[in-house]
Structure 1
Amino acid sequence: MASKSTDVENVAAKVGEVSLSESKGSKSQRKIVIAIDASGHSERALRWYLNNFHRDGDHLFLFHAVELPTIPVIGSGELFYKETLNEIIKEKHEEIKKLTLKFELIIKKDNLSATFNARDGDPPGHNIVHYAREKDADCIVIGCRGLGSIRRTILGSTSDYVIHHAHLPVIVVPPVHH
């Protein structure tokens, strides 16, 4: 049986929500959630937003859904389990720091109003939808990997999940075809 330890801190808890810029405070401001991860797909989605959809006064919520692997607990391997999970959590914290810095450079360069947040615990699609609802977002922008229909059916697709469960406009930025 696979499970996550309940006595280990939430991976993203130490990050919390980090403001990457000063809010412009406009009442007509749109709230845009942009799903980000370490892939080039999310950076492409942000750049697409900047080039095609951005309006002055928008506030961006850059959101990273942390995926923790499931580690099987076998017999009396609790110590091994905790050590392994703690190492994974340490790696995920580093990943979150790198993502924050990477996207902070883009945000500051373009003088945008943005907040960064990372969470774990649920599948990425569910986390993205929940976060967008929590922030009362006007739109979600997400990149996709461009899986074929068979692979998408077998593996699932975060963007498919978001489209079908967000109940607000979702912009899916496709991969670049060569």
Structure 2
Amino acid sequence: MVKVLVAVDSSEQAERAFAWYVANFHKDDHEVVILHVGEPPKLPTISLAEPGSFPADQISKILIENNKKVNELENKYTILAMNHKIQKSRVLLKSGRAGEEVVDAAKEVGADAIVIGTRGLGTIRRTVLGSVSDYVVHHSKLPVLIVPK
């Protein structure tokens, strides 16, 4: 059995990469691990100099909204996998630096290949920010299928 890790986020490009994998690469005996790496939510700065300034309501609201978005994404890809009749699939959620987490998760689950889309960054932004797909290609020992925009 071949185990394929498909890295996704909430972008349209991730959905296209998943659809491309299903249409062109997926076989019935593949096990598909759908990975979403979320960035930790940006929480307000807490001032230790001002007693009573802890914005608990604001932090709670941010965390609830973040969890809602992650749950919606997990449900979306669970339903997509079921609609495409993928027999063996699961969604894996991680948090951290996307490129590193994709490479680590692929090792952790025993993946045989990685499928990832591109964000379509311009040359300058890609040079300054780096690219998740570029990181994965250069740091993974597995075959990496990059689905362009």
After TM superposition, the score normalised by the length of structure 1 is 0.74
Determine which of 98, 113, 116 is the counterpart of 1:139.
113
Query: Equivalent residue of 1:79, what SS?
Result: coil
Query: Equivalent residue of 1:172, what SS?
Result: strand
Q: Does 1:49 align with 2:24?
A: no
Query: Equivalent residue of 2:27, what SS?
Result: coil
Offset from partner CA, 1:25-63 (integer Å, 9 cap, x none): xxxx11100111111111111111111111120000001
Unpaired stretches in structure 2, ≥5 consecutive residues: none
- Structure 1: which amino acid aligns with 2:146? V
Q: Mean alpha-carbon deviation: is it higher for 88-97 or for 124-133?
A: 88-97
Distance 1:89 1:172 in 2: 32
Task: Give the 3 Å change call, closer, same or farther, for CA 93–134 of structure 1 in structure 2.
Answer: same
**Larger proportion of helix:** 2
Q: Is the 8 A contact 2:41 2:66 kept in 1?
A: no
Q: Is the 8 A contact 2:47 2:54 kept in 1?
A: no
Task: Give the 3 Å change call, closer, same or farther, for CA 79–103 of structure 1 in structure 2.
Answer: same
Q: Indicate the residue corresponding to 1:116 in structure 2.
A: 91
Q: Does 1:149 align with 2:123?
A: yes
Unpaired stretches in structure 1, ≥5 consecutive residues: 1-28
Distance 1:140 1:95 in 2: 24
Q: Does 1:30 align with 2:5?
A: no
Q: Indicate the residue corresponding to 2:99 in structure 1.
A: 125
Q: Is the 8 A contact 1:66 1:92 kept in 2?
A: no
Task: Give the 3 Å change call, closer, same or farther, for CA 129–86 of structure 1 in structure 2.
Answer: farther
- Structure 2: which amino acid aligns with 1:79? F
After TM superposition, the score normalised by the length of structure 2 is 0.88
Query: Equivalent residue of 2:28, what SS?
Result: coil
Instruction: Give me the CA root mean square deviation.
Output: 1.8
